Amino acid sequence: MGVAYHAHVLDWFEAARTEALRDAGLPYRELEASGVIMPVVDVALKYHASVFYDDLIAIEATFPSLGVRLPVDYAVRRDGEDAVLVSGRVTLCFVDVARKRPVGPPDIVRAAFAT
């Protein structure tokens, strides 16, 4: 069909989220090393227009709030263009690995988001 496979969008979102966290001073590996993981608890996507093979795209990831759950909003655009091709939200939850229970954001997360 000449368009990018729809399920790849979730991979793009994950890559954008990982890089946005790294840019905020929070490499995901450090979070896991502290004993906290962030599993996905909800996903919503809306396809506004096709992304074609060989399109150069830019993905914006923003964090609208910080609590036990961390929503991340996304916008996929062709590089250099304003029109949103795909939008979505992925909600993660902070989980203490040892207790297997949701927890509030650890101090390293609060520090990264305070800047």
Distance set, CA 91 to CA 5, 37, 38, 39 (Å): 22, 13, 9, 9
Q: How confident is the model at residue 114, as a pLDDT?
A: 85
Give, as one character, the DSSP assignment of residue 67. Answer: S
Which domains does the chain carry? 8-114 (3.10.129.10)
Predicted pLDDT of residue 1: 77
Confidence (pTM): 0.93
pLDDT, tens digit only, all 115 positions of the chain = 799 999 999 999 999 999 999 999 999 999 999 999 999 999 999 999 999 999 999 999 999 999 999 999 999 999 999 999 999 999 999 999 999 999 999 999 998 888 6
Between the two ends of the chain, the Cα-to-Cα distance in Å is 44
